[in-house]
Amino acid sequence: MQRGLSPEDEQFRSEMREFFTTAIPQDIRDKVAAGTELSKEDFERSHRIMHEAGLAVPHWPAEWGGKNWSDLQRYIYLDEMQLANVPAPLAFNANMIGPVIATFGSQTMKERFLPPTASLDIWWCQGFSEPESGSDLASLRTTAVLDGDEYVVNGQKTWTTLGQHADWIFALVRTNPAAERQQQGISMLLIPMDAPGVTLRPIQLIDGGHEVNEVFFDNVRVPADQLVGEENRGWDYAKFLLGNERVGVAPTGWIKRKLAAAKEYAAAVASGDGHLIDDPVIAARIAELECDLIALELTVLRVAANSHGGKPDPASSILKLRGSELQQDVLEFIADIAGPSSLSWDLEAESAIADWAHNATPVYLNFRKASIYGGSNEVQRQVISTGILGLKG
């Protein structure tokens, strides 16, 4: 047992801090800090700067741009990125389809897709969920039927995050309806969003924003060489995609940054003769959230060190569960700090109210999603109770 960083890791940390706080444009970082929605162009600028510095996909295999970092280094990288209010490289690219293609794709597929995926020349979206298939994803109904050397795809995906910006979608489709188990009849296909027969319809969310969509497939013809890996193995790839990362599951740097900001906010909002931060109930809530965060972050550091070489791991369920809960707790707290100043959601140049306060309620509402997507918290508890505790329900 040993506390603290080695001199090399300290050095690594200061390099990361230097990079994220100087190379990424301030206007983007200010937007992230205030919780203002980013444009497509913001994401692209930030992603490309990281890519040019070799920092967009450091966890990929080395031949495709990876860095062979230790888990601790990966943690430091993510922590510094989040502390600096830098938007993460697009998750659909960097954390989802990239690692899947790098692990299961053919050499041709890797050469075709990995470089533009790393550089964000392809913007990916994730086509897993369907109207009737959420937590029970394996029940999905979108079909793909081989016709010559093309698959013909019919069906509907939903909740497709940032599909409106996407060039391609990686979709789970049913290729063998007769398989003994549902899971064994699913494949993963790569489909261009501008293919004939693909249509996209926006879904507005409770924060008033447009970040998710419905995607419809009507006799969409997809060349068979855009099948990832083997036919009917898509479920394994999806499980890999959802469970291969431990270090990044809980956004502890983000939460830390928000909690530090919450203190600044509480010190800025007047209350009586002083400020909210002088209220012992507010101070105690900060202290408690800090304790909760410390417990989570230390757990990230502790379990990351024992990661199982990329295999899905039930321990990452604790991190997803607590990470989303704490994210939500901190945003709820910030909305409470903003109080009546949060009642107008519109950012206005002449406003005496800070952007963070205008944004506080929509951001709070938006992040109710964190305990729903990527395996809801109830599903995470199920993984813990069956996978770790051996309680077979």
Partner 1 sequence: MNFEFTEDQIALRDAAREAISRHRTEPVPGTAPHDGELWKALAELGGLGLPFPEEAGGMGAGPVEAMVVALELGRAGVRTAYSETLTAAAMLGDDELFGAAVEGSRVVVPALFEPMRAWSPTPVDVRADGDALTGVREPVPYAAAAPAVVTTAATADGVGIFAIDNPTFTGARLDLAGVSARRVDGDEVLVQRAINLGTLLLSAEALGAMESALHLTVEYLKSRKQFGVPLMKFQTLTQRAADMYTSLELARSAVYYLAMTLAIRPDDAIGVSRTKVIVGKSGRHIGQEAIQLHGGIGMTAEYAVGHHTARLTEIEHTYGDTRYHLSRLARGVSEYGGLDLVS
Ligand X SMILES: Cc1cc2nc3c(=O)[nH]c(=O)nc-3n(C[C@H](O)[C@H](O)[C@H](O)COP(=O)(O)OP(=O)(O)OC[C@H]3O[C@@H](n4cnc5c(N)ncnc54)[C@H](O)[C@@H]3O)c2cc1C
Q: Residues 176, 263, 271, 365: which binds partner 1 (CB under 8 A)?
A: 263
Structure tokens that stand for 279 in this block: 């209220």
Minimum separation from the CB atom of position 205 to ligand X (A): 6
DSSP code for 133: B
Minimum separation from the CB atom of position 126 to ligand X (A): 4
Q: Residues 295, 308, 311, 339: which binds partner 1 (CB under 8 A)?
A: 295
**By CB under 8 A, residue 283 contacts partner 1:** yes
**C-beta separation of 289 from 326 below 8 A:** yes
| SS3 label, residue 154 | strand
133 forms bridges with which residues in the sheet?
130
Distance CA 241, CA 103 (A): 10
Report how far Cα 38 is from the mean position of its chain's Cα atoms.
15
**By CB under 8 A, residue 15 contacts partner 1:** no
The residue among 238 and 300 lying less far from ligand X, judged by its C-beta, is 238
The residue among 3 and 181 lying less far from ligand X, judged by its C-beta, is 181
Interface contacts to ligand X, rule CB under 6 A: 126-129, 134-135, 159-161, 212, 369, 372-373, 376, 378-379, 382
| Backbone angles phi and psi of 170, in degrees to 5 | -100, 120
**By CB under 8 A, residue 277 contacts partner 1:** yes
**By CB under 8 A, residue 343 contacts partner 1:** no
Task: Tell me which residue has tokens 């989802």.
Answer: 96
Distance CA 341, CA 333 (A): 14
Task: Count the neighbouring beta carbons within 10 Å of the beta carbon of residue 192.
Answer: 15
The residue among 205 and 301 lying less far from partner 1, judged by its C-beta, is 301
| Backbone angles phi and psi of 81, in degrees to 5 | -60, -50
Distance CA 270, CA 365 (A): 24
The residue among 21 and 182 lying less far from ligand X, judged by its C-beta, is 182
The residue among 51 and 257 lying less far from partner 1, judged by its C-beta, is 257
Minimum separation from the CB atom of position 123 to ligand X (A): 12
Which H or E run includes 242? Answer: helix 234-243
CA distances from 126 to 7, 12, 29, 166 (A): 40, 33, 26, 9
Applying CB under 8 A, which part among 202-210, 239-247, 335-343, 374-382 lies near partner 1? 374-382
| Backbone angles phi and psi of 302, in degrees to 5 | -75, -45
Minimum separation from the CB atom of position 70 to ligand X (A): 30
**By CB under 8 A, residue 382 contacts partner 1:** yes
Q: Residues 51, 74, 233, 322: which binds partner 1 (CB under 8 A)?
A: 322
| SS3 label, residue 187 | strand
Closest CA to 167 of 120, 203, 206: 120
Applying CB under 8 A, which part among 136-144, 198-206, 251-259, 332-340 lies near partner 1? 251-259
Q: Residues 72, 91, 205, 353: which binds partner 1 (CB under 8 A)?
A: 72
Distance CA 264, CA 336 (A): 14
Instruction: Mention every residue, 6+ apart, whose C-beta is less than 8 A from residue 344.
Output: 351, 353, 358
Q: Residues 5, 53, 206, 343: which binds partner 1 (CB under 8 A)?
A: 5
**By CB under 8 A, residue 119 contacts partner 1:** no
Task: Tell me which residue has tokens 């209350």.
Answer: 271
Q: Residues 11, 139, 344, 386: which binds partner 1 (CB under 8 A)?
A: 386
Per rule CB under 8 A, count of chain residues that contact partner 1: 56
Minimum separation from the CB atom of position 341 to ligand X (A): 26
Q: Interface with partner 1 by CB under 8 A: which residues?
A: 1-5, 10, 13, 72, 76, 83, 256-257, 259-260, 263-264, 267, 277, 280, 283-284, 286-288, 290-299, 301-303, 305, 315, 317-318, 321-322, 378, 380-382, 384-386, 388-393
